[in-house]
Amino acid sequence: MKIGICFGSYSPFHKVHLQIIEKASHENEIVMVMISLNDRKRLNEFPICSKEKALLWKEHYQHIMPSNVKLHYTFDSPIKKVFEIINKLKEQNLKDEITIYGGDNLHEIFSGIEDVVKLAHIQRDGTSGTLMREFLQKQNKKEFIKLLPDNVNGESIYEILLSGNKSIE
């Protein structure tokens, strides 16, 4: 069986994240997506809280996932969860073909396990969570919504994230 694995904090989830998941979906029978629900709070950066992340996945993102995608929520590191899954599959001695999908630091994170899994580096188009958090910080709704997947309610997502930020001030 061909298994794809995607992982991230998805703070916030954007169109390139969906493109990566869709690519994995087309290339594999099953795709496991590890989603961190931890707060994303850094100095001088717009915070993304776990409560809002969970709400967004439930109300806006899970329904746009391809049918062969299984979402796995964690308050642990999503990278740690990927290693746990790989180790579990190795222990079971399954002959599954596993591909991990990710961005720029994929080979750095998973160096040394290429004998067990394939790594699929996906080139990004400049879209990033950092850029989206900057748009939230500046309350630039138009630019923020442009980076969301086409088939979601951008207005609602924007308002949920802004309201979560106000509740922690």
Report angle CA 25, 27, 31 to the nearest 5 degrees.
40
Of the candidates 8, 36, 48, the residue with the CA atom closest to the CA atom of residue 24: 8
pLDDT at 167: 47
% the chain with pLDDT above 90:
73
Q: Which two tokens stand for residue 107?
A: 């080979």
Over 70: is that where the pLDDT of 24 sits?
yes
Over 60: is that where the pLDDT of 168 sits?
no
Query: Any bridge partners for residue 30, and if so which?
Result: 3
Max CA-CA distance within the chain?
50
Q: What single DSSP character describes residue 62?
A: G
Query: Higher pLDDT residue, 7 or 124?
Result: 7
pLDDT at 142: 97
CB atoms within 10 A of CB 45: 15
CATH code (residue 117)? 3.40.50.620
Q: Indicate the pLDDT class of residue 91, thresholds 50, 70 and 90.
A: confident
Query: Any bridge partners for residue 121, and if so which?
Result: 102
Query: Higher pLDDT residue, 141 or 43?
Result: 141
User: Once rounded to an integer, what is the mean pLDDT over residues 14-42?
Assistant: 95
Written as one letter, the residue type at 88 is K
Place of tokens 């919504």: 145
Residue 153: domain span = 2-167
User: Once rounded to an integer, what is the mean pLDDT over residues 37-61?
Assistant: 93
Q: Indicate the pLDDT class of residue 124, thresholds 50, 70 and 90.
A: confident
Of the candidates 80, 35, 79, the residue with the CA atom closest to the CA atom of residue 58: 35
Q: Indicate the pLDDT class of residue 166, thresholds 50, 70 and 90.
A: low
| Number of domains the chain contains | 1
Count how many Cα atoms sit within 13 Å of the Cα of residue 163 in the half-sphere of its side chain. Answer: 11
